[in-house]
Amino acid sequence: MNEIRAITIFMRAATLGSLRKAAVDQGISPQAASHAVMQLEKELGVRLFFRTTRKLSLTAEGQRFFESVQPALTILSSALDEARRSTEEVGGPLRVSAPRALGLSVLWPFFEEFVARYPNVQLEVQFDDHFTDLVTERSDVGFRGGPPPAGGSIARRLVPIQLIICASPAYIEVHGAPESIDDLARHRCTGYRRANTGKMAPWAFQVGEEIVYRDVPATVCVNDTDMETQAVLSGLGVGQLGSFTATEHIRSGRLVPLLLQHVSQHGMIYIYYGHRKEQPLRVRTFIDFMVARMADNSRFFLAPSELQPVRPARPARRTRAAAGRS
């Protein structure tokens, strides 16, 4: 027996004073309505209605049952209506997870735009450098940089991640630019310590058809990609930065890309989520919104024409006359 269905028929019959009217209200036959109430009475072990050919009235037990069930049935009806509305309105809670490296410089401006456009969505963002299992963490949507996420999620590629060696014009003016991978040993360099492992990230270089990894000693070491970018912008050293943070500064001239023949690709930025058919409208809308703005967005990576090697600059040298004046 479908107890919720039977209780609904009982409540409508009690409210309308007729099983026949309750049957019409529920879109079933009078016989089916009568059978459902009889099954409910059998299940409860009490008689709910006094029945005559002309009248239907509640017994004392039926009246108590009616009064007990009515608040719960109202809540259930409200919940069902809310679930139905969720397919029509973009609103409700939305939980998103992403690594810290992508948070401020890449994702946050889009999050702000989404919230402004859909003010009825309650956005909760969890920045975590560990891979987020959507089911375990009860997240709706996740972002990831590097290899594609595993675990049965649907993953969509957004933009490639290039690892670009950079320095500021001020640093190059004083120290010159490295001319080879080995030449990095004589330069001040920045380093990134992975927050999830505590280990220094090696630098990755494209050498022919292979990617070669080197441990580059760091003069300045941080565990935040935005802070490493700032250190390089400030002229504290040469750094290997992700294209998602470096590209804008390279195009504006605030950073100079170096050793372009050794730029390597470190996977992609992915958006991942569960099966779309099971997603509320707010989740589907958010996914489409982010894909429309990020997929193949050239703002976050260098084009092939921008990866052509250029001859590095050398540090400025003082002339003898200038040296004599100092």
Q: Which residues, in sequence order, are CB contacts of 166 under 8 Å at separation 6+?
A: 232, 238, 239, 240, 241, 246, 249, 250, 255, 256, 257, 258
Are 23 and 6 in contact by the 8 Å Cβ rule? The answer is: no
Q: What is the pLDDT of residues 151-207, one digit of tens each?
A: 678 889 999 999 999 999 999 999 999 999 999 999 999 999 987 788 899 999 999
Q: Is the dihedral of CA 140, 157, 299, 207 positive or negative?
A: positive
CATH number of 92-152+274-292: 3.40.190.10
pLDDT value at position 90? 87
User: How far is residue 241's CA from residue 145's CA, in Å, rounded to a whole number?
Assistant: 13
Same fold, 3-84 and 159-268+301-307: no
Homologous superfamily of the 159-268+301-307 domain (CATH)? Periplasmic binding protein-like II (3.40.190.10)
Intervals of the chain under pLDDT 50: 312, 319-326
Looking at residue 134, its pLDDT comes to 59
Q: Burial level of 106, CB count in 10 A (0-12/13-18/19+)?
A: buried
190-192 vs 220-222, strand pairing mode: parallel
Does the model's pTM come out above 0.85? Answer: no
Domain 3-84 in CATH 1.10.3720.10 = no
What pLDDT is recorded for position 280?
87
pLDDT score of 195: 74
Q: What is the pLDDT of residues 127-160, one digit of tens each?
A: 876 655 555 567 899 998 888 877 678 889 999 9
Of the CA atoms within 13 Å of residue 167, those in its CB half-sphere come to 25
Give the pLDDT score at 137: 63
Contact indicator for 260, 310 with CB cutoff of 8 Å: yes
Domain residue spans of the chain: 3-84, 92-152+274-292, 159-268+301-307
Mean pLDDT of the chain: 86
